[in-house]
């Protein structure tokens, strides 16, 4: 969804400084000059901050292709710079950040759907993500990406609202007074959720009471507010809020106050917790796969939300048992030397440390307990008071090894056990790090963001020494929605998941597409369809290359075969023996591959009318060259021929029959031929053969491997089979764990192919082996186990295909199934 620049000008009440870019269509909001992805449809906000000024980067953004800008009236922008921004639209406002918020608030006002606003000191992201997990099968939800809950993050999140959504979940975070009013105007929640009050950002407020009052400003115009009243300060605030806003309904839950609207009991059993509510004689309960206090609190909040809104169906409640940890919080990963690493370097305050240590306690059976903690920057307490509490908490939770990082915690070393070790910063820690010092431990990383504990995590987390294909499911959905946005109302979408979904996977991809309401799935062979059915896929599935021997399977698993000649149709009739079966008719409109010819159509119609058990679901044809402009005349001829044949068939039957001819590039280049449905293939996986949409698409796959061994090779020595790799100087050679058996083409050997190692492009050297490839990494600072990227965001798949004279389809589908596919949501 987007708006013209004129609409935006009116919405934010700006002034045109320059209007030379035409009536631009804006879909993307941009603040970072380094993150230009969709220049044609982006609007750049030159935002001033304490550390930077977006006006410095106007030229860079313009050079990247952006032609729509918002600048501040009092900014010192050189006239010469503005003169350079030819054919651009430039709007002037008093404050660019305010303009961003105003635009997002105006966008929000275009929708009349339930919007949930979530705030609190802790648990906002988890509650939001868990509500999404519980409800995503029933409603189309828009929510903050990750924890985008700031003055910039919230407007960017709300900007995602589209006509396809029927529920919004937005979290709001503040660090000082005066911020929540802005977020309230943007989110405009009609349902409010307050999680818990904690110590985070205490330093930004005069006291905890002021912070609580500021947070509750999110709910001033809400219809309902849901909160836990166990904390006395929160309970008092709820009473006060009720008096000040009598029209707002309050719904409270508690495990200690039996007079709350929802009284809950929690029972920990092994590795699970049961949450029970009693309403008269009715008892409702859910089970969660967690026993730590943080998870219990957050699950109770989600349960209260469902009860309040009367969404506590048996189906939804059963999903509590399948709740998954939110990766941004307390990530639990396998570590080196039989260690377990818990990464909770997301927030840094005493309350979150307490909850994280509770989580360690739950997970620590059989492990030595280790805490690596930085200076705590979000407590609001005096240093001595704070670290006295930290030391007491550490002793209470049975921490056996403490490593403190930061000058402040080191200053209070006398409060801790004499065995504790302190470092001035993360760099000092990493310089003294030795992997052999860590074994059979559960290690909690609890650091403020500025300490960059991700560097410590990389040292402690176990490396996976294998070649993997990482599949970004967010990108898959993004690409799906890009093409959906090009369709006329009512046009259906068929997704191609044949050939292992172009190398991306099978049911994993199909499940995502089905969840995103794809109309049809298409496979090449019946076996592929059976795999999907066994994985629980219920969407209609067309089989493009049905074999006669597979007809029994097709009938058993409710697959829909393509019919392209009389022989295969006759065999299906015999196999069906009166059983109902749906088919898809392929006609030849110029591809000259498979399909009924036009002079066969009358016979086809009369044949099919003899067998009412065989029902035509669609009539389709293939375009031969829709991506190439030089063949447009031929493509138009194909479309005309197809239309004539398809109408002849559909007119002969009384029931509706779908028509479709467009593929990925056809969707972009021939929008008038969308008919009833379109087929999305390679475009779904981030490749637009026509190039017209390429900048809007995201690559979904990243092929990665690791350095298996590093070897110093002297000048004039040879490398690999047939001694084809020759070095002319002393060189460093890396052997990496991928070869032609994995799908890395042999033509990419001897310097023709490249890979990315630590962000640097390096050439192959010597012949590609079955399981290995050698790279010339001379001059680089590497170690064995370092990551190597064959293709992905940083190493374009098209360039890999060009080097071996093929197309991206072949590169993707050539990746062996022995290469593990790893699926993730960002």
The CA-atom distances, in angstroms, between 438 and each of 4, 234, 235, 401 are 58, 42, 45, 11
Give kind and range of the element (H or E) at residue 229: none
According to the 3-state scheme, what is the secondary structure of 157-211? HHCCCCCCCCEEEEECCCCCCCCHHHHHHHHCCCEEEECECCCCCHHHCCCHHHH
Q: Are 114 and 192 in contact (CB under 8 A)?
A: no
Residue of 528, 525, 578 whose CA lies nearest to 549: 525
CA 472 to chain centre: 7
Token couple for 294: 């943080």
> Distances from the Cα of 530 to the Cαs of 449, 493, 498, 501, 550, in angstroms?
47, 21, 12, 14, 11
Beta-bridge mates of residue 89: 19, 68
Of 611, 610, 565, 606, the C-alpha closest to 588 is 565
DSSP secondary structure, 393-442, as one string: HHHHTT--EEEEESHHHHHTGGGS-TT-EEESSHHHHHHH--GGG--SEE
| Cα gap 188→142, rounded to integer Å | 14
Alpha helices in 75-165 (DSSP H): 79-84, 96-108, 124-135, 153-158
Helix, strand, coil percentages in the chain from 3-state DSSP, rounded to 5: 35, 25, 40
Structure tokens at 617: 């679901």
- Give the pairing of strands 725-726 and 560-563: unpaired
Residue 536 falls in which region: left (phi positive, over 0), alpha (psi -120 to 50) or beta: left
Active-site residue identified among 392, 721, 820, 825? 721
Residues 6+ apart with CB under 8 A from 127: 118, 171, 193, 195, 298, 301, 302
Instruction: Tell me how far apart the alpha carbons of residues 409 and 388 are, in angstroms, rounded to a whole number.
Output: 10
Cα–Cα dist 720/773, whole Å: 9
Q: For the chain, give the longest Cα–Cα distance.
A: 94
From first CA to last CA, the distance across the chain in angstroms is 22
What 8-state DSSP symbol labels residue 231? S
Is residue 411 flagged as an active site residue?
A: no
Handedness of CA 422, 425, 426, 429 (dihedral sign): negative
Q: How would DSSP label each residue in 716-771?
A: T-EESGGG-EE-SS-EEEEEES--GGGT--GGGTTTT-EEEETTEEEEB-S---SS
| CB burial of residue 729 (10 Å; 0-12, 13-18, 19+) | exposed
Looking from the CA of 618 toward its CB, the CA atoms found within 13 Å total 26
Q: State how far the Cα of 415 lies from the Cα of 99, in Å rounded to an integer.
A: 49
**Degrees, nearest 5: CA angle 367-370-376:** 150
- In this structure, are residues 234 and 139 in contact, taking their beta carbons and an 8 Å threshold? no
Q: For residue 208, count CB atoms less than 10 angstroms from its CB and return exposed for 0-12, middle for 13-18, buried for 19 or more.
A: middle
Q: Which of 211, 215, 397, 498 is catalytic?
A: 498
Q: Which residues are catalytic?
A: 498, 721
């Amino acid at each position: 969804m987007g708006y013209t620049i004129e609409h935006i000008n009116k919405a934010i009440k700006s002034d045109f400084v320059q209007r030379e870019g035409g009536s631009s269509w804006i879909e993307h909001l941009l603040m970072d000059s380094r993150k230009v992805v969709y220049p044609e449809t982006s609007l750049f906000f030159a935002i001033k901050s304490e550390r930077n000024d977006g006006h410095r980067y106007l030229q860079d953004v313009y050079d990247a292709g952006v032609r729509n800008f918002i600048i501040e009236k009092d900014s010192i922008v050189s006239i010469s710079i503005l003169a350079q921004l030819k054919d651009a639209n430039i709007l002037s406002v008093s404050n660019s950040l305010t303009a961003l918020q105003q635009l997002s608030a105006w966008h929000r006002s275009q929708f009349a759907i339930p919007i949930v606003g979530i705030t609190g000191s802790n648990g906002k992201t988890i509650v939001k993500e868990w509500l999404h997990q519980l409800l995503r099968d029933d409603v189309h939800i828009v929510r903050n990406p990750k924890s985008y809950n700031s003055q910039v993050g919230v407007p960017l999140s709300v900007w995602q609202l589209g006509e396809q959504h029927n529920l919004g979940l937005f979290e709001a975070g503040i660090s000082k007074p005066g911020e929540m009013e802005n977020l309230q105007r943007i989110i405009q929640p009609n349902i409010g959720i307050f999680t818990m009050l904690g110590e985070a950002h205490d330093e930004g407020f005069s006291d905890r009471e002021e912070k609580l009052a500021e947070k509750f400003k999110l709910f001033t115009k809400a219809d309902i507010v849901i909160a836990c009243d166990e904390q006395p300060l929160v309970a008092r605030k709820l009473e006060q809020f009720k008096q000040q806003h009598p029209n707002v309904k309050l719904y409270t839950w508690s495990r200690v106050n039996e007079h709350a609207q929802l009284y809950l009991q929690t029972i920990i059993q092994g590795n699970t917790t049961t949450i029970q509510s009693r309403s008269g004689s009715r008892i409702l309960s859910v089970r969660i796969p967690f026993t730590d206090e943080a998870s219990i609190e957050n699950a109770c909040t989600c349960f209260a939300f469902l009860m309040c809104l009367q969404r506590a169906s048996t189906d939804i409640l059963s999903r509590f048992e399948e709740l998954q940890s939110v990766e941004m919080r307390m990530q639990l990963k396998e570590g080196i030397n039989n260690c377990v690493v818990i990464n909770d370097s997301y927030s840094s305050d005493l309350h979150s440390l307490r909850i994280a240590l509770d989580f360690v306690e739950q997970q620590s059976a059989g492990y030595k307990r280790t805490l690596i903690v930085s200076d705590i920057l979000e407590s609001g307490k005096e240093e001595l008071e704070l670290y006295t509490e930290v030391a007491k908490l550490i002793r209470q939770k049975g921490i056996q090894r403490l490593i403190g990082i930061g000058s402040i915690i080191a200053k209070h070393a006398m409060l801790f056990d004499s065995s504790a070790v302190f470092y001035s910063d993360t760099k000092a820690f990493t310089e003294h790090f030795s992997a052999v010092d860590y074994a059979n431990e559960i290690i909690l990383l609890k650091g403020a963001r500025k300490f960059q504990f991700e560097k410590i995590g990389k040292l402690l987390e176990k490396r996976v020494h294998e070649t993997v294909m990482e599949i970004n499911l967010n990108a898959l959905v993004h690409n799906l929605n890009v093409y959906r946005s090009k369709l006329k109302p009512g046009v259906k979408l068929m997704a191609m998941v044949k050939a292992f979904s172009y190398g991306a996977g099978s049911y994993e991809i199909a499940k995502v597409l089905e969840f995103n309401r794809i109309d049809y799935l298409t496979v090449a062979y019946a076996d592929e369809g059976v795999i999907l059915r066994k994985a629980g896929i219920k969407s209609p599935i067309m089989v493009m290359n049905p074999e006669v021997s597979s007809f029994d399977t097709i009938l058993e698993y409710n697959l829909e075969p393509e019919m392209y000649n009389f022989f295969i149709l006759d065999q299906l009739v015999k196999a069906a023996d009166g059983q109902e079966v749906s088919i898809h008719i392929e006609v030849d409109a110029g591809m000259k591959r498979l399909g009924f010819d036009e002079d066969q159509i009358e016979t086809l119609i009369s044949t099919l009318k003899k067998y009412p058990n065989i029902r035509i679901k669609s009539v389709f044809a293939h375009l031969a060259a829709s991506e190439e402009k030089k063949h447009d005349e031929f493509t138009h001829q194909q479309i005309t021929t197809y239309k004539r044949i398809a109408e002849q068939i559909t007119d002969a039957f009384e029931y509706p029959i779908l028509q479709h001819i467009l593929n990925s590039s056809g969707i972009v280049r021939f929008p008038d031929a969308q008919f009833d449905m379109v087929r999305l293939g390679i475009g779904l996986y981030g490749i637009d053969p026509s190039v017209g949409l390429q900048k809007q698409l995201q690559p979904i796959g990243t092929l990665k491997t690791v350095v298996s061994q590093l070897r110093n090779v002297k000048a004039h020595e040879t490398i690999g089979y047939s001694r084809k790799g020759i070095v002319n100087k002393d060189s460093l050679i890396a052997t990496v764990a991928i070869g032609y058996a994995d799908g890395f083409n042999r033509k990419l050997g001897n310097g023709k192919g490249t890979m990315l190692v630590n962000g640097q492009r390096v050439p192959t050297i010597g012949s590609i082996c079955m399981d290995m490839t050698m790279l010339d990494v001379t001059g680089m600072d590497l170690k064995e186990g370092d990551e190597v990227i064959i293709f992905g965001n940083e190493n374009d798949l098209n360039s890999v295909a060009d080097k071996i004279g093929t197309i991206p389809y072949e590169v993707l589908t050539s990746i062996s199934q022995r290469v593990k596919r790893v699926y993730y949501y960002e």
